Chains A and B, each alone.
Chain A
Amino acid sequence: MNIFVILKRTFDTEEKIQIENSEIVDDGAEFIINPYDEYAIEEAIQLREEHGGEVTLITVGDEESEKQLRTGLAMGADKAVLIENEEIEDGDPFSTEALLGAYFQEKEIDIILGGNVAVDGGSGQVGPRLAEKLGINHVSSIVKIEIENGKATIERDVEGDQVTVEVSLPILVTAQQGLNEPRYPSLPGIMKAKKKPLEELDLDDLDLEEEDVEGKTKTVDRYLPPEKKAGKILEGDLDDQVKELVSLLKSEAKVI
């Protein structure tokens, strides 16, 4: 099987986000593979273990993203591709779709796996957009997948409930928590990953011009959520408390 995983380098979920001049400060921050993409990698490796074939990892990002690709290779993927986006202005999910779309144009695909959403941007758009662009089926938020005779039986998460769908390959799926328990890159895996092929591509290699990939959206501002204020406990007799609550909901919280 030709198995592909699209993944993203993101902030470690433990990091405290700091914003200066509407930009996120990433000095000294730790970076990881987007946790949902990690499920995708694990599932891809399991599919290869069952059906044979090859797992290719693809990311769109800067040079530093090589580290996350190497981590995926250490988990057991076979090869990796880094599509550089450093020259792209105002990159957004459209840009990523355009780059990945160009990459996949000539590829024979059985399945592409990605994360349900990236924990940084949080758009959740890249997977579905790419499927649309490639004209293949797509199922999001999957928690189980089985493939047999060119057909996938998939359980997907629907707001806590589950729906089972059957689709034919080729297909793009996005992973939800619960799909699997990603393995740790083992030490032998880490040492092998150094020698696995990692290809770097830029716009020229993909036959794209800058305007083909320029973002469709503009980020106007970025800010942290307001700090949570301490709660208030109302006192006095019950009727007065109710009255006070109603007036606070009207005047302070402005929700009624």
Chain B
Amino acid sequence: MATADKTVRGGGFLLEEVTPDHVFTPEDLTDEHKMIAKTTEDFILDQVVPEIEKIEEHQFDISVRLLKEAGELGLLGADVPEEYGGIGLDKISSSLITEKFALAGSFSLSHGAHVGIGTLPIVYFGNEQQKETYLPGLATGEKIAAYALTEPSSGSDALSAKTTAKLNESGTHYVLNGEKQWITNAGFADVFIVYAKIDGEHFTAFIVEREYEGVSFGPEEKKMGIKGSSTRTVILEDALVPKENVLGEIGKGHVIAFNILNIGRYKLGVGCVGGSKYGIELAAKYANERKQFKIPIAKFTLIQKKLGEMAAKTYAAESSIYRTGGLIEDAFAALSDEEQQDGKAVGKAISDYAIECSLNKIFGSEVLDFVADEAVQIHGGYGFMSEYEVETMYRNSRINRIFEGTNEINRLLVPATIMRKAMKGDLPLLEQAGSLKEELMMMMPQEVEDEPLAQEKYLLENGKKIFMMVAGMAVEKHGEKLEKEQELLANIADIVSDIYSIESCVLRTEKAIAKDGLEKAKQKLLMTEVFSQEAFNRIEAIAKESLVAIEEGDSLRTMLSILKKLTRHTPVNVVAKTRMIAAKVIESEKYVL
């Protein structure tokens, strides 16, 4: 995707200078990409949206029919190779499909669980026989897939699963026993990816069909949101699974589970971008329609502030997430055709970007929550009423911070993965931390130039230094025991997240200015300025809290004075710029660039 030959490694953005030609941006979409997005959007708006009310009432025969119709259009086969009945498109194409499916509310969960965590384990880790057996049906929607990892007593601690598998005496079948909880699509899926421990020990993935003896289902769960997705317990009572249906290697189930989760997290972020854009549209339309004190509430600057911030945050999420999409696509494109279907190679390619995938999941879900919350607020009392779409959106949004690894687990994963890469020598973090210390002591605040994005680049550069300072101090102080300091780790993750997002905005906007000129990229520039300022303010506050938690006395005072130097700058006028962003949102009644 990115045109330059230099690939940026996972986490590399923290240490290397990344230039615009290294990032994929939504402005780089091809005409085919746009057509794919349009077909998806038209299908959702014309065929799915009119049925959503019925789907919310659990009329799942409609979901199954719509999935089949989506399959006929190719919307289920983007990630499935052509030789197995799919279309084998690039990762950006499948991301666009995911983004547009967000317009379908809870139906997007049925789609996401099927094409993502349900189908991908077979695409990447299935053997020839398994691929030939299952993928053609999954790509067309003739068969629906689901993913069964969670159990009543194992959520975040997925590897503590209690479901067991034992080879039967004749050696033909594994006998599975256990319960898998909250399984999306369980009401109608035909194929389940189930994790169980062989002999209570070897964590292994299996392909389990609905019709197998010993497979049954609990009732539909009653949920806060995403009511139109089927969620049931999968009960395995001496379930007989042919031994040919072991997916991947025995005892290596975690490799599948974690890599699929990485992709799942990225895709969740993409879906959240689609949801956020829709939330802005609903809120802006309502703000123009609703009059109080005889004028549309969109004229009130406090409503404008909300709409402007919703747009700026969505821009940051979109820029970050499509950037990751480009990285993953590049990593895939670098693999040979054979490697692209080899779990080990694919797993390595994906897991290199585990940090970015976690960041996308956290940030995407929290931006969507912010947007949904403010969209309800703009609707006032009507937003609390079920007839209004924002009410559903608000309830649906909440799950995103919980599933595919809670945002807390993902926050802990970010610094842990950075440290692991540093220890392995994949990221020259420790080397740079050493030289930074001296530099920081000597540092003088710099004058920032006047040209567009100069200030944001300055903030970004200093943000990275602040990260090094805080992370370096944390490691120095706690060493191996740092993993017990979860608040500190989450703080570091938040700093890293804002760095990634600021940088993604800056690089995207810089690329757009170079391509289309400043005038056409004005909205992008405004959103970058507002987001970067607010993100940097957060970095400063979090860094301070962290340093106080790590150090004390003179040493603390020294660190705080360095922080002060690193954060010295004249802030942009966020209030005025947010109004300007809002003006365009209100005029177009949608998220526009």
Q: Which of B36-44, B129-137, B298-306, B541-549 contacts A (4 or more CB under 8 A)?
A: B36-44
A16 to B592, CA, bound (A): 13
A190 touches B (CB below 8 Å) = yes
Give the residue of A16, A74, A187 whose beta carbon is less than 8 angstroms from that of B78. Answer: A187
Q: Note all chain B residues with C-beta closer than 8 A to A74.
A: 35
Give CA–CA (A27, B523) in the complex, Å.
14
Tell me the complex Cα distance, A67–B33, Å: 12
Residues of chain B in range 280-301 having any CB-CB distance to chain A below 8 Å: none
Q: Mark B515-553, 1 if CB is under 8 A from A, else 0.
A: 000001000000000000000000000000000000000
B592 touches A190 (CB 8 A): no
Q: Find residues 87-105 in chain B having any chain A CB closer than 8 Å to their own CB.
A: 87, 89, 93
B431 at the interface (CB under 8 A from A): no
Q: Does A184 contact B (CB under 8 A)?
A: yes
Hey, which chain B residues are within 8 Å of A16, CB to CB? 588
Q: Give A142 Cβ to nearest chain B Cβ, in Å.
A: 23
Q: Cβ of A186: which chain B residues have Cβ within 8 Å of it?
A: 39, 72-74
A: number of interface residues (CB 8 Å): 17
Closest B residue to A32 by beta carbon equals B38
- Cβ-based interface call for A176 (8 A): no
Q: How far is the CA of A187 from the CA of B77 in the complex (A)?
A: 9
- Residue of B42, B43, B74 touching A188 (CB-CB under 8 A): B74
Complex: how many Å from CA A189 to CA B72?
A: 11
Judge whether A34 is part of the interface by a CB distance below 8 angstroms.
Answer: no
For A193, the chain B residues whose CB sits under 8 A away are 35
Measured CB to CB, the closest approach of chain B to A82, in angstroms, equals 14
What total count of A-B pairs have CB within 8 Å?
A: 44
Q: How far is the CA of A62 from the CA of B32 in the complex (A)?
A: 19
Asked whether A187 lies within 8 Å of B75 as measured between CB atoms, the reply is yes
Q: What's the Cα separation between A185 and B520 when bound, in Å?
A: 30
Inter-chain contact A191/B32, CB cutoff 8 Å: yes
- Of residues 222 through 252 on chain B, the ones whose CB sits less than 8 Å from some CB of chain A are none
> Chain A CB within 10 Å — which of B35, B36, B93 has the most?
B35
| Docked pose: A145 CA to B34 CA in angstroms | 33
- A56 smallest CB distance to B (angstroms): 20
CB-CB contacts below 8 Å: A154-197 with B = 184-191, 193-194
Given known A186-B74, A187-B74, contact A67–B32 (CB-CB < 8 A) = no
Taking CB atoms and an 8 Å cut-off, the chain A residues in 69-108 that contact chain B are 70-71, 74
Residues of chain A within 8 A of B593, CB atoms compared = 28
Check if A187 sits within 8 Å of B73, measured CB to CB. yes
Q: Does B31 sit at the interface, judged by CB under 8 A?
A: yes
The answer to whether B39 touches A185 (Cβ under 8 A) is yes
Q: How far is the CA of A16 from the CA of B587 in the complex (A)?
A: 9
Residues in chain A near residue B75, CB distance under 8 A: 187
Contact partner, B31, options A28, A67, A187, Cβ 8 Å: A67
Whole-angstrom distance from the CB of A32 to the nearest CB of chain B?
9
Q: Which of B174-230 contact A (CB under 8 A)?
A: none
Q: Are B32 and A194 in contact, CB atoms less than 8 angstroms apart?
A: yes
Contact with A along B59-79 (1 / 0, CB 8 A): 000000000000011110110
A190 to B34 CA separation, bound complex (whole angstroms): 10
Residues of B within 8 A of A71 (CB): 35, 38
- The residues in B between 567 and 593 inclusive whose CB is less than 8 angstroms from any CB of A are 588, 592-593
Query: Is there contact, CB below 8 Å, between B588 and A185?
Result: no
Q: Are A190 and B36 in contact (CB under 8 A)?
A: yes
Question: CA A189 – CA B78 in complex, angstroms?
Answer: 13
Which A residues are CB-close (under 8 A) to B592? 28
The smallest beta-carbon distance between B392 and chain A, in angstroms, is: 22
| Shortest Cβ distance from residue A157 to the other chain B in the assembled complex, whole angstroms | 22
Known: A70-B35, A190-B32. A184 touches B87 (CB 8 A): no
Q: Kindly identify, within residues 1 to 47 of chain A, every residue whose CB is under 8 Å from any CB belonging to chain B.
A: 16, 27-28
Complex: A3 Cα to B205 Cα, angstroms = 54
B96 vs chain A, min Cβ distance (A): 11
User: Whole-angstrom distance between the alpha carbons of A16 and B75 in the complex?
Assistant: 30
Given known contacts A184-B42, A184-B73, is B588 in contact with A190 (CB within 8 Å)?
no
Q: Looking at the assembled complex, report how far the CB atom of A134 sits from the nearest CB atom of chain B, in whole angstroms.
A: 32
- Given A186-B72, A191-B87: A70 touches B39 (CB 8 Å cut-off): no
CA distance A191 to B73 in the complex (A): 12
A27-B587 Cα distance, complex, nearest whole Å: 14
In Å, the complex CA distance between A187 and B592 comes to 26
A187–B42 CB distance below 8 A? no
Identify which of A27, A28, A184 contacts B39 (C-beta below 8 A). Answer: A184
List the A side residues contacting B32 at CB < 8 Å.
190-191, 194
Residue of B nearest to A181 (CB): B46
Q: How many Å from the CB of B94 to the closest CB on chain A?
A: 10
The reply to whether A187 and B588 contact each other, CB–CB distance below 8 Å, is no
Interchain CA distance A71-B32 in the complex, whole Å: 9
The residue of chain B having its C-beta at the shortest distance from the C-beta of A183 within the complex is: B73
CB-based contact A190/B35 at 8 Å: yes
Contact call B43/A187, Cβ cutoff below 8 A: no
Assess the A70–B31 pair: CB atoms within 8 A.
Answer: yes
Chain B residues whose CB sits within 8 angstroms of the CB of A189 once the complex forms:
74
Would A187 and B89 count as touching, CB distance under 8 A?
yes
Chain A residue contacts of B38, Cβ below 8 A: 71, 185
Chain B residues whose C-beta falls within 8 Å of the C-beta of A70 in the assembled complex = 31, 35
Give the distance to chain B from A125, nearest Cβ to Cβ, in Å.
29
Give me 12 A-to-B residue pairs in the complex whose CB atoms sit less than 8 angstroms apart, sorted by A's number.
A16-B588, A71-B35, A74-B35, A184-B39, A184-B43, A187-B36, A187-B75, A187-B87, A187-B93, A188-B74, A189-B74, A190-B36
A interface residues, Cβ below 8 angstroms from B: 16, 27-28, 67, 70-71, 74, 184-191, 193-194
- Apart from A27-B520, A28-B592, what are 10 other A-B pairs with CB-CB below 8 Å? A28-B593, A74-B35, A184-B39, A184-B42, A186-B74, A187-B73, A187-B75, A187-B89, A191-B32, A191-B89
